Amino acid sequence: MLQANDLGFQYEFLPARSPDNDVTLLVLHGTGGTQYDLIPLGERLYPAAAILSPLGKVSENGMARFFRRLSPGVFDLDDLRFRTNELADFVRRAVATHQLNSHRVVAAGYSNGANIAASLLLLAPDVLRCAVLLRPMVPLVPQKLPNLDGVQVFISGGRHDEIVAPAEAVRLAELLHESGATVSIHWAEAGHGLISQEIAAARDWLAAHIKCSAS
């Protein structure tokens, strides 16, 4: 495992386990997480992939996040736009530095990480061709929708989520679909925490769809 902080973020990088180095998982932690937290999740989702895991740069009472919020569920949109572009630049630099396939970068984000992954799709659509969004909500609605034709998205919502209302997953799916993405929604009989059944569903979906994303 490599540790680095010279691309604008502290991050962890695990090289691909397959010789073709074809798929990279950009794993994005939730509020209060670290760059280490979702590496086991990435290894379960796609064992052969390289893993790129940055640490969110915003601190909320000492807890790392990827962008500021004004209150629970209310985002600082100016900061969100800035942080989204900052993360997009990091991914582009990491792709060049680690000689990754730029057409096979897959976001796998949880909660706050899922929200900035959705923001990447909406504001920097060149970065991702596929995304697994776990417990997301609508981060923002851009003035002009991007062209997400060929982009594949898996959304997993918790039917009993006490933090993110299930309707948010539906709203996000509709927004991404309106932008041209192909979206699959999975519902977990769970709250905000993840359960093994939805990880298995995300793994199976990813295996079936990653090669189908546009190159």
**How would DSSP label each residue in 184-215?**
EEEEESSSSS--HHHHHHHHHHHHHHGGGS--
Q: Which residues of 3-38 are buried (b: 16+ CB within 10 A; e: fewer)?
A: eeeebebbbbbbebeeeebbbbbbbbbbbebebebb
Annotated active-site residue in 53, 111, 119, 179: 111
**149 included as an active-site residue:** no
φ and ψ of 13, to 5 deg: -135, 125
Whether 111 is a known active-site residue: answer: yes
Catalytic residue among 119, 161, 209, 213: 161
**Phi and psi, residue 24, nearest 5°:** -125, 130
Residue 192 designated active-site? yes
Do 34 and 59 contact (CB within 8 A), yes or no?
no
Catalytic residue numbers read 111, 161, 192
